Amino acid sequence: MTANRLAGKVALITGAARGQGRAEAVRLAAEGADIIALDNCVTAGTTDYAGPTEEDLAETVKLVEAQDRRILARKADIRDFAALQALVKDGVEEFGRLDVVVANAGICSGNWSWEIPVEQWQETIDVNLTGTFYTMKATIPTLIEQGTGGSIIITSSVAGLRGHPFLAHYAASKHGVVGMAKSMAVELGQYNIRVNTIHPHGVATGMQPGRMGELIVENAATLGPIFMQTLPDPISQPEDIAAVVAFLASDDSHHMTGVQLPVDLGTLLR
Is 170 catalytic? The answer is: yes
- Give CA–CA dist 259/23, Å, rounded: 22
Residue 119, exposed/middle/buried by CB under 10 A (0-12, 13-18, 19+)?
exposed
- Catalytic residue among 49, 134, 170, 191, which? 170
Contacts of 76-79 with C-beta under 8 Å, sequence gap 24+, read: 76/38, 76/39, 76/40, 77/40, 77/42, 77/131, 78/14, 78/15, 78/38, 78/40, 78/103, 78/105, 78/127, 78/131, 78/132, 78/134, 78/135, 79/126, 79/127, 79/130, 79/131, 79/134
What are the residue numbers of the active site? Answer: 170
